[in-house]
């Protein structure tokens, strides 16, 4: 990212590091610029540094090194309650002894708003999350999904420009979680607020975000829009972490005209796009998405390298067929095909040939 983009961001992390013991860095030299109105998700496994970054932005943790700016102003020394940031946590953090309306009024009273102003804003925030009738209830009288809506309304009630969300849907069941993903995205878009969202759920990240920062080992491994992250992972970690993925180990035989010819350890030659390899003799791990693999000969390019495969398992999943194959010594090679009239169902034990377009297969770091 260019320096001007760094400087122009609404939220900017510049050379930020964090260590709890003075030796081990939990966050390593983070440079990140988030635009106004952007929905950015920090995605990664436990311990990757994503939540620490969120807590530094909120002011609950202090950066060991580097600067964090909000709207052009350094905020390292500003206490959390003066940053004007809305927060939503997984555990809702609602006051049990207060009604829903009192919970929402609390951040407004702290800001010395008049009673009538408070009432107006509380009602508007409740209507926004479709909970307008629930102002008189206590949190204990609400379901998990309703409590999460109230927690969201409380973060939005004082009309912050920035809202931080830490695994906010983690405690909800699958169906409600998916519904709330779209709900939060729509509210954020309608209000034009900036959202920094932390999750380890890749589907959530792909569904909701304008851009996703994939964290591992205290660093951003890749920062990109969801489609780019999925279609064009820049390294093996991102390829494995985002979505389902087939990988095979091998050695680069040659690179010619933007295509790498790879000799697989399990036998067979394939074409791949050279991403983290530059010369013959390098070891590589190739990555191919299950839905990019073809077994209908007529759909394959005539020059495409094909591999022999044995069908081990065929699962009907309604909209798709999921087939597990043995390919080049790998018993967990998955292909996904659309349930279409011309797509034949494969039988366990059947021998087939599979192939793909070279640009859909990526030669990554070993």
Q: What is the largest CA-CA distance in the chain?
A: 75
User: In a 3-state reduction of DSSP, which class is residue 26?
Assistant: strand
Q: What is the pTM of this model?
A: 0.88
* pLDDT at residue 130 in the model: 87
Query: Is residue 193 within 8 Å of residue 37, measured between CB atoms?
Result: yes
> CATH assignment of 246-364, given 2.40.50.140, 3.40.980.10, 3.40.50.720, 3.30.230.10?
2.40.50.140
Tens digits of residue pLDDT in 3-38: 434 457 999 999 999 999 988 999 999 999 999 999
User: pLDDT tens digit string along 301-339?
Assistant: 676 778 999 999 999 999 999 999 999 989 999 999 999
Low-confidence ranges of the chain (pLDDT < 50): 1-6
Question: Helix, strand or coil for residue 285?
Answer: strand
Helix intervals (H) in 263-359:
none
pLDDT at residue 171, rounded to an integer: 78
pLDDT at 4: 36
72 in the Ramachandran plot: left (φ > 0), alpha (ψ -120 to 50) or beta? left
Number of neighbouring beta carbons within 10 Å of residue 205: 25
Q: Specify which residues 274 forms β-bridges with.
A: 363
Instruction: Supply the pLDDT for residue 220.
Output: 96
Q: To which CATH superfamily is domain 3-236 assigned?
A: P-loop containing nucleotide triphosphate hydrolases (3.40.50.300)
Residue 140 and residue 73: Cα distance in Å, rounded?
40
Q: Crossing angle, helix 144-156 and helix 174-191, to 10 degrees?
A: 20
CA distance 325 to 307: 11
68 Ramachandran zone, left/alpha/beta (phi>0; psi -120 to 50)? beta
What is d(CA 137, CA 102) in angstroms, rounded to the nearest whole number?
10
Cα–Cα distance for residue pair 14/5, rounded to 1 Å? 12
Write down the domain spans for the chain: 3-236, 246-364
Per-residue pLDDT, 23: 87
Distance CA 92, CA 71 (A): 27
Length of the chain: 366
């Amino acid at each position: 990212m260019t320096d001007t983009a760094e400087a122009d961001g609404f939220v900017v992390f510049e050379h930020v590091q964090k260590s709890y013991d003075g030796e081990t860095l939990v966050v390593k030299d983070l440079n990140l610029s988030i635009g106004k109105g952007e929905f950015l998700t920090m995605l990664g496994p436990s311990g990757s540094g994503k939540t620490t970054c969120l807590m530094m932005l909120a002011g609950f943790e202090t950066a060991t090194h580097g600067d964090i700016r909000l709207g052009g102003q350094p905020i390292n020394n500003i206490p959390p309650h003066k940053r004007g940031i809305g927060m939503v946590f997984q555990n809702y953090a609602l006051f049990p002894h207060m009604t829903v309306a009192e919970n929402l009024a609390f951040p407004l009273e702290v800001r010395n708003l008049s009673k009538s102003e408070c009432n107006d804003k509380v009602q508007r925030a409740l209507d926004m999350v479709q909970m307008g009738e629930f102002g008189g209830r206590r949190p204990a009288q609400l379901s998990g999904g309703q409590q999460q809506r109230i927690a969201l309304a409380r973060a939005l009630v004082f009309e912050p420009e920035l809202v931080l969300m830490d695994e906010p849907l983690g405690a909800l069941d699958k169906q409600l979680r998916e519904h709330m993903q779209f709900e939060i995205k729509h509210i954020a878009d309608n209000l034009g607020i900036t959202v920094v969202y932390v999750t380890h759920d890749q589907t959530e990240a792909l569904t909701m975000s304008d851009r996703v920062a994939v964290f591992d080992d205290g660093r951003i491994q890749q920062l990109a829009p969801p489609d780019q992250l999925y279609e064009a992972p820049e390294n093996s970690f991102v390829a494995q972490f985002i979505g389902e993925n087939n990988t095979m180990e091998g050695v680069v035989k040659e690179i010619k005209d933007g295509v790498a010819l790879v000799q697989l350890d399990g036998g067979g030659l394939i074409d791949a796009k050279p991403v983290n390899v530059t010369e013959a003799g390098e070891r590589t791990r190739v990555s191919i998405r299950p839905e990019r693999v073809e077994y209908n000969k007529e759909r394959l390019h005539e020059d495409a390298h094909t591999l022999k495969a044995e069908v081990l398992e065929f699962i009907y999943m309604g909209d798709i067929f999921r087939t597990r194959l043995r390919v080049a010594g790998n018993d967990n090679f998955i292909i996904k095909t659309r349930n279409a009239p011309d797509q034949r169902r494969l039988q366990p034990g059947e021998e087939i040939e599979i192939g793909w377009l070279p640009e859909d297969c990526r030669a990554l770091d070993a």
